Amino acid sequence: GQNIDQPTEMTATEGAIVQINCTYQTSGFNGLFWYQQHAGEAPTFLSYNVLDGLEEKGRFSSFLSRSKGYSYLLLKELQMKDSASYLCAVKDSNYQLIWGAGTKLIIKP
């Protein structure tokens, strides 16, 4: 079956750096997405990786290793507004988006 694993919850301190990992096992691969979702709101797009390596976008970076079925989202200079759930999603060979359960990130002052 298809599976995406990410930690359920993480806690970090304001101003610090946090890495949220995601491992996947899917039938085919057509890219990996990271989304941010604040409580009670819809997800918003953060990043897309289809080739191995690191994609940097401001305070957020996303890394992909296709051979390892692994990605991480790196958040730098954490701010209180970064408290949210972070969803990892993979497009499989049918271009269907398979969602992880999300990682709830709690930022403490």
Partner 1 sequence: GAVVSQHPSWVICKSGTSVKIECRSLDFQATTMFWYRQFPKQSLMLMATSNEGSKATYEQGVEKDKFLINHASLTLSTLTVTSAHPEDSSFYICSASRGLAGSNEQFFGPGTRLTVL
Which residues contact partner 1 (rule: CB under 8 A)? 30-31, 33, 40-45, 48, 50, 87, 91, 95-97, 99-102
Nearer to partner 1, 74 or 97 (CB): 97
- Kindly state the smallest distance separating residue 102's Cβ from partner 1, in Å: 5
- DSSP structural state of residue 69: T
Task: Supply the minimum distance, in Å, between the C-beta of residue 86 and partner 1.
Answer: 11
Residue with smaller CB distance to partner 1, 17 or 56: 56
The tokens for 34 are 């990271």
42 Cβ contact partners less than 8 Å away, ≥ 6 residues apart: none
103-108 and 9-13 beta bridge pairing: parallel
